[in-house]
Amino acid sequence: ALVKGLSVLAGVLICWFGMRGTDDDTRWAVGFVALLFFTPLVWWHYVWVAIGALGVVLAQQRRLDDRLLALLPVTALVSIVPSFPNANGHSLPVVQALFLIAMALIICLLADRIRRTGRAATDRPPVVAPT
C-alpha cells in the first residue's frame, strides 16, 4: 500500500510540475510518463515512452545547445545496458524504477524551462546554439 501511495504521489507531482503552463504536446508527453507510475505492470521496453516524451519536450525548447540536445541519445544509450538482462528473462526493477524517476525529473525540469522561456509549439522554431 505504501509503494502504491508513493507511485500515485509521484504521478501527481509529475503532472503538476510538468504540465503547468505548457502546450498540448508537452502535456501529453508528461501525462504518458506519469501513467507509467500508475500502471502496476511496467516492462523494461515501456521506458521508451519516457525517451519519446523527452524528445517531445526537447522539441518544444526555445533554445537548444549541444549539451541539452545530447540528452536524447545519451538516455537512449543508458537504457540499453539494463535491457540485456531483461532480454534474457531477468528483471531489474530497482534500475527500471530509478531510470523512470530520473527521466520524469529531467522531463519536468525541461517543462519548467519551457514555462519560464514562454516557448509554445506554435511559436517560432527552436534556435540551435553553436558551442
Distances in whole angstroms, Cα of residue 62 to Cα of each of 58, 106, 110: 9, 16, 11
pTM for this one? Answer: 0.78
- d(CA 45, CA 35) in angstroms, rounded, equals 15
By residue count, the chain amounts to 131
Q: Residues 81-113: pLDDT tens digits?
A: 877 777 777 777 788 888 888 998 898 888 888
Cβ atoms of residues 14 and 49 within 8 Å: no
Q: pLDDT category, 54, cuts 50, 70, 90?
A: very high
